[in-house]
Chain A
């Protein structure tokens, strides 16, 4: 249940970015969550909505984009999706692969309403 802590960090960043852009309202927040991050989308949305109450982000839509786990094999110089926890190169079987994606916990875009709206 670290979704509350993650939602708090999201909210801090969202409110500070929104303030800097002189937003009156935050309409939408897009976050990227890697499949290795172990974040439950429903739980994150619940926590986000809870924290958004009485802020300019109240009623903002949280969109969670799942990022698949991808690996890179330096022997084959190839990149591939890691499925079913098979952390090895699907061409040569090399186990010493680098993770290219899957650990993301990132804020992508915000949609806001500002004074001009």
Chain B
């Protein structure tokens, strides 16, 4: 019997491809968001609103990640921006090689902003870097205030948290204060936005944050 001291990161091959993606994005001057949430938090609707707010001033692209169907890509496509749907066929998250393969469908020379909508899931997407500039989470108030402490890694790694569907707060027993308190205890640098995509509230602050991020990367 013999022992081998391996000491190797299990996700090292994903990290290596993520780093290649990141280098390519920097060379092309593209700012990349990895948008994550549980299913039904409102990622796609938020994305549609964001596209409408930015498409006149920026060149956008979208990668949609879902286990199955092209429903989301069809919705994004209706807004006139290039979109590629990745169907993971069962996998609960996107990984960096899926993104690398999808990039050939875009004209990277013209893109300013690429938004990757990850598969709806609060656990797995957090572990797999894609080469993005920032991870952004969407949490809807109907999911409850206990989510930050139940899913700490995603809150810890995200740069921004969008608390969505705040118009529904009167119909839930969810405490917005508790979400903010727990999320900032996990991540004191988290930028937090309170939005309603049906009532179009809170979206300008989110837009301003995103524009500032894109601008900072360009400098």
Contacts and interface: CB of A to CB of B under 8 A. Distances in A.
Contacts of A2: 92-93, 123-124, 127-128
Interface residues of A, number: 38
A107 B10 contact: yes
B6 interface: yes
Interface stretch (A4-12, A49-57, A73-81): A4-12
Interface stretch (B73-81, B149-157, B204-212): B149-157
B194 interface: no
B219 interface: no
Contacts of A114: 2
B135 to A, nearest CB: 14
B113 to A, nearest CB: 27
Contacts of A112: 1-4
B127 A85 contact: no
Interface string B85-97: 0000001110100
B105 to A, nearest CB: 23
A38 B91 CA distance: 16
Contacts, number: 101
B186 interface: yes
B94 to A, nearest CB: 11
Interface string A2-38: 1011100110110001100101000100010000111
Interface string A75-117: 0000000000111100000011001000101111111111011
Contact of A37 (B92, B127, B187): B127
B185 A85 contact: yes
B4 A17 contact: yes
A95 B127 contact: no
Contact of A86 (B11, B128, B156, B185): B185
Interface in B1-16: 1-14
B185 A27 contact: no
Given A5-B128, A109-B5, 11 more contacts: A2-B123, A9-B10, A23-B2, A85-B152, A85-B186, A88-B185, A95-B185, A105-B127, A106-B7, A111-B4, A112-B4
Interface of B: 1-14, 91-93, 95, 123-124, 126-128, 149, 151-153, 156, 182, 184-189
9 contacts: A21-B4, A96-B188, A96-B189, A109-B3, A109-B5, A109-B6, A111-B1, A111-B3, A113-B1
The 9 closest A-B pairs by CB, nearest first: A2-B124, A95-B188, A105-B10, A110-B4, A107-B6, A9-B10, A38-B123, A36-B153, A107-B8
